[in-house]
Amino acid sequence: MPFTHLIIFLIAFPVSSSGGKWTYNGPHGENHWPKHFPYCGGAFQSPINFQRELQRYDPGLLPVQLQNYNLSSSEQLTLSNNGHSVQLSLSPRMYLSGLPHRYSAAQLHFHWGSPNVLAGSEHTVNGKQFAAEMHVVHFNSGKYPNITMALDKSDGLAVLGVLIEVGEFNPAFEQFLKYVNGIKYRDQKIQVPAFNIRDLLPAHLDEYYRYDGSLTTPPCYPSVLWTVFRHPVTISLRQYLALATALFSSHAQESAPMPMLGNYRKPQLMDNRVVLVSFQEGWGLHGPLSVASPMHRKLVIQQLLNGDLADLADEGLQQLLPKIKRKPWAPKKWKSNQSHLQWSQVTEKQQRSRMQENNPSVWKNPDTSPYMGKLGVNEDELCFISLEKNVSFQLRKHHRDSEMVHTLRKAVFPELNLRSYLKCKSDLDMQTIKYLLHTRPTEDADELEKTLAKTTKKERQRAMSQNHGPALTKLTGQFQVTGLKNAYNMIPTNHKSEPIEFED
């Protein structure tokens, strides 16, 4: 069944969401997550590796604003072992301000390595993995009544990530680590006195990485606004070992206890995303990734939707293609030709005036576009669980369960990529361009699509001819394509309906 026909039915036939047992290793490990949780093989997944060449300084990123984090010791928090991590419940009075919505705290939890390998963080920095990582999970309480309702919405969650190194003793972490022997086994929980949660975070809240990503555990919905602090905090080796040696992922009555070790997910594909950073120093001669302004990006989208495609083909292709940034070691003759970046003879001001007359709605709300909503989803947020249910129903109806991950990705990726592109958080992907062109079923659109494909191929061939070695795949994006093909093959023949369990 053609994908466009499938989308027509997306709202009409809901089915139960899928679920299943999952672990980090073994037959239910992360390589097999997409069998029961299709979004785990989908778009905008987390964690990622913060590569320097994919970062862009954003002067508009203000220090993280914490509200009511200093809890009274007379208040009680629940410390629990959920079989995947240590989790501490948080007071809903705690919230983040300064974001597009109010995000209230729900819980915090940890990821770590093993007693012998002090490497268990999920996010990495230029390939470096830290000993552990803490996630402080918040949900969009301005729009949703609880975290369960928010976790599958595109604007549902905001998570603070804290990288952890082994070093000096940390008295703040001792406030709950001293109780972990009371939750050695799965589903055990105890009450602990509350404390100042701010003390668990780095001293500097103004330096961080920010990007759009996902839950790092099943069901892996791409619903998280990530803020990962640049500076790690330290805990002592004894404190680290309290996590890495005292806990089990199995129940107390099981005869063969399973140690809770290595509970971290590996870095995921970038999917054309860039990482916004709030800090500027340390860039050296090779500055942060330069991108077109939000205004210019709106004009590019409007040109695809309503403009003259012949002019765009002649002058605007370079604005649409992913920007391949020359590495410091790349040949000096490989540079951007600034003349190619001029995609119109008309100034931005004149272009904006013209587009505003043709379609004024896109300028009223900078977070929306005429394309958003054309995939049968709400313009305010994507409801991932509803989309998953309906895609699953249609594929089952036509005996095509094996295409679940692939089709689900096709349904959600263009929308996520377009939103991210308009907010300067990603490049515009070729797949998204094709969907934009499909709104204009003309010979000109077909011709532009062919021209784009040809130009992209030439750009990659030119990069290949001028750059050699394993880093080439990072420049051309070919590694991403291969990785996705492999992910698409990890699909079940039986898509069972079971309760959803989530952690992040």
Active-site positions read 84
Q: Which of 275, 271, 247 is nearest to 261 (CA)?
A: 247
Answer left, alpha or beta for residue 126, where phi above 0 means left and psi between -120 and 50 means alpha.
left
In whole angstroms, how far apart are CA 315 and each of 31, 342, 422? 43, 7, 20
Residues pairing with 80 in the sheet: 87, 189
**Residue 448: partners with Cβ closer than 8 Å, 6 or more residues away:** 309, 312, 313, 437
User: For the CA atoms of 304, 309, 315, 316, what is the dihedral angle to 10 degrees?
Assistant: 20
Residue 344 has a CB neighbour count (10 Å cut-off) of: 19
Asked if residue 188 lies in contact with residue 158, where contact means CB atoms within 8 angstroms, the answer is: no
Q: Measured between alpha carbons, how far is 288 from 1 in angstroms, rounded to an integer?
A: 44
Asked if residue 79 lies in contact with residue 195, where contact means CB atoms within 8 angstroms, the answer is: no
Q: Measured between alpha carbons, how far is 184 from 89 in angstroms, rounded to an integer?
A: 17
Residue 461 has a CB neighbour count (10 Å cut-off) of: 11
Label each residue of 175-190 as H, E or C. HHHCCHHHHCCCCCEE
Q: Measured between alpha carbons, how far is 106 from 87 in angstroms, rounded to an integer?
A: 10
Q: How many helices (H) and strands (E) does the chain have?
A: 16, 16
Q: Measured between alpha carbons, how far is 338 from 239 in angstroms, rounded to an integer?
A: 54
Reduce the DSSP state of residue 4 to 3 states and report it: helix
